[in-house]
């Protein structure tokens, strides 16, 4: 029997098992995860993509970064270029008491205008009365003005006639009368109910001492006496 060969094979198997167990134990200790912890399922990984520790580490990282930015900011006094800055040794640190005294003597005045706007000062506002007048809203109704009488235009007046009546004649056959009138240098002869001067004037009545003539345009009549000088 090959008893020695069998024992050698068994020793090799035990050595392989021991070495594999030691290697597995080393891997578990180095990763910090116990070997008996179950692997997360696909559903749990989808529902919790980032553990709380990852969000806390990101917030801590942002806070550290912001603190670095604040600590890096430094205020600057004076111009940016060093050549433009004033030499501190040339500044007089003495206090000008004379200028301070002038400022203290200035009396404050009421702000009545804008110092940055040139022009005349606005006029002062009128003083408001202590007791404003009470305005009543119940006004009486306005009274209508009295009616005015209609104005009638004056009636036109006929101009005076310029005729001169200096005589008449009577017809023996029918007793018809005909008057003799002088219009300037023209001699007009017309009987009763006859018209002269383009039918404007109508002879109404002929008598021994006068003649009555109607102005057909103004509907008025005038009586002219007999002119004795012309008749003689």
3-state per-residue secondary structure call for 98-119: HHHHHHHHCCCCCCCCCCCCCC
Q: What pairs with residue 201 in β-bridges? A: 196, 215
The pLDDT of residue 114: 65
Q: Structural domain of residue 179, as residue ranges? A: 164-231
Query: Cα–Cα distance between 199 and 193 in angstroms, integer?
Result: 11
| Mean local confidence (pLDDT), 191-210 | 92
The pLDDT of residue 191: 92
In a domain, 222, yes or no: yes
Task: Give the pLDDT band of residue 182 (cuts 50, 70, 90).
Answer: very high
In a domain, 57, yes or no: no
**Lookup result for tokens 């600590």:** 71
Indicate the number of domains in the chain: 1
Query: Cα–Cα distance between 54 and 33 in angstroms, integer?
Result: 17
The pLDDT of residue 35: 45
In a domain, 179, yes or no: yes
b/e per residue, 188-206, with b = 16+ CB within 10 A? eebeeeeebbeeebbbeeb
In a domain, 127, yes or no: no
The pLDDT of residue 153: 85
The phi, psi pair for 15, rounded to 5°, reads -65, -40
93, two tokens: 């640190």
Q: Which CATH number belongs to the domain containing residue 227 in this structure?
A: 2.30.30
**Is pLDDT above 70 for 99?**
yes
In a domain, 83, yes or no: no
Work out the percent of the chain whose per-residue pLDDT is above 90.
18
Report the chain's mean pLDDT, rounded to a whole number: 76
Task: Give the pLDDT band of residue 179 (cuts 50, 70, 90).
Answer: very high
In a domain, 184, yes or no: yes
Residue 161, Cβ density class (10 Å: 0-12 exposed, 13-18 middle, ≥19 buried):
middle
Q: What pairs with residue 184 in β-bridges? A: none
Task: Give the pLDDT band of residue 53 (cuts 50, 70, 90).
Answer: low
Task: Give the pLDDT band of residue 194 (cuts 50, 70, 90).
Answer: very high
pTM above 0.85, yes or no: no
pLDDT in tens, 135-155: 777 767 778 788 888 888 888
């Amino acid at each position: 029997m090959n008893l020695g060969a069998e024992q050698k094979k068994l020793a090799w198997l035990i050595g392989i098992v021991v070495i594999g167990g030691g290697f597995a134990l080393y891997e578990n200790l180095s990763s910090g995860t116990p070997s008996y912890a179950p692997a997360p399922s696909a559903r749990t990984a989808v529902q919790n993509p980032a553990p709380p520790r990852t969000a806390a580490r990101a917030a801590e990282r942002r806070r550290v970064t912001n603190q670095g930015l604040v600590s890096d900011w430094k205020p600057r006094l004076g111009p940016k270029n060093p050549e433009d800055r004033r030499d501190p040794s040339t500044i007089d640190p003495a206090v000008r008491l004379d200028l301070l005294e002038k400022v203290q003597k200035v009396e404050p005045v009421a702000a009545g205008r804008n110092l940055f706007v040139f022009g005349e000062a606005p006029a002062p506002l009128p003083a408001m009365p202590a007791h404003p007048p009470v305005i009543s809203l119940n006004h009486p109704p306005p009274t209508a003005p009295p009616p005015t009488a209609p104005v009638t235009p004056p009636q036109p007046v006929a101009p005076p006639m310029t005729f001169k009546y200096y005589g008449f004649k009577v017809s023996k056959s029918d007793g018809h009368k005909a008057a003799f009138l002088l219009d300037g240098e023209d001699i007009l002869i017309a009987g009763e109910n006859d018209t002269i001067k383009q039918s404007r004037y109508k002879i109404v009545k002929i008598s021994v001492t006068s003649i009555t003539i109607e102005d057909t345009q103004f509907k008025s009549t005038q009586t002219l006496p007999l002119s004795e000088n012309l008749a003689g």
